[in-house]
Amino acid sequence: MAALKSKMRPWATDFLAPTRFTKPNDDWTQRMKTNVAYYKANYGAIFLAITIFSIISNPSLLICLVVLGGAWGYLMIIRPRSEDGSLVPATIGSRTLSGFEQKAALAGITIVVLLVTSLGSTIFWALGVSCVAIGLHAVLHSTEFHEVYIDESML
């Protein structure tokens, strides 16, 4: 998070400065390439904020993620380990589960819960909204003040 914050451009005086927004001519593709390279940390923060808002605004999804996070935290951090560092086998009824089986069971439960709570659609919705907002900003924001090197092989 600190690395992301250190690479962000100023929000009020640069990223959202009203005087820096202009109508693009035929240079919209170059503007988009330059702005995406120049503001990638700001764009990442926008996606992260929209995703967090989406999760917080869906209480059932939020509760499920907290419970799953707690279950994974318990399994990976708190659960007792043997001398070699592997998870101590757990007995459920007459069945003894190895550490691998415990992780596999929790992974299966996680997948089912995430499908039922629509995390996938929430993430894709956040991605779509972010892409529209970022695309509009990247095309409409002037690039005359940017000093950025764009490696064409990365595009």
Q: How far is the C-alpha of 52 from the C-alpha of 63, rounded, in Å?
A: 13
CA distances, 6 to each of 1, 71, 97, 145 (Å): 9, 33, 45, 19
Q: What pLDDT, on a 0 to 100 scale, did the predictor assign at position 66? A: 93
To 10 degrees, the CA torsion angle through 37, 38, 43, 45?
120
**Euclidean distance between CA atoms 148 and 16, whole angstroms:** 18
Q: Provide the pLDDT for residue 150.
A: 53
Mean pLDDT of successive 10-residue stretches along the chain, which has 155 residues: 75 83 86 88 91 87 91 92 87 90 94 84 88 92 68 52
CB 54 within 8 A of CB 125: yes
- Quote the pLDDT of residue 24: 86
Instruction: Report yes or no on whether pTM surpasses 0.85.
Output: no
Q: Is 1 helix (H, G, I), strand (E, B) or coil?
A: coil
- Who's near 136: CB < 8 A, 6+ residues apart? none
Residue 27 pLDDT: 82
Q: What is the pLDDT of residue 6?
A: 74
